[in-house]
Amino acid sequence: MSQPKYRSPEEFLAANAPIAEAIRRAMREAVLTHARMGRPVSTVRDGKVVLLQPEEIFALFAAEQKAPPAA
């Protein structure tokens, strides 16, 4: 019996665009929910863990909405 080919999470999501989009939307809503409650969210920038304050989160998502869609 042969072993199934291992696919990285990136390869899996690239092959399953609807799943990737659902995950992206869920993550966005979770981050915005934290921001609405006044809670910071941790992320990684330049290899270091940093806290994004609610104001930064709202600014990031506002900029995302103004940007043209990715091709």
Contact present, 39 and 26 (Cβ < 8 Å): no
What is the per-residue pLDDT for 67? 67
7 has a pLDDT exceeding 70: yes
Residue 32 and residue 59: Cα distance in Å, rounded? 11
Structural domain spans, the chain: 9-66
Helices (H), the chain: 9-15, 17-36, 54-66
Q: How many CA atoms lie within 13 A of 33 on its CB side?
A: 6
What is the predicted pLDDT for the residue at 4?
A: 72
pLDDT of residue 11: 85
Supply the pLDDT for residue 1: 57
Q: What confidence tens digit (pLDDT) does each residue in 16-55 have?
A: 888 888 988 999 999 999 999 999 999 999 999 999 999 9
pTM of the entire predicted model: 0.67
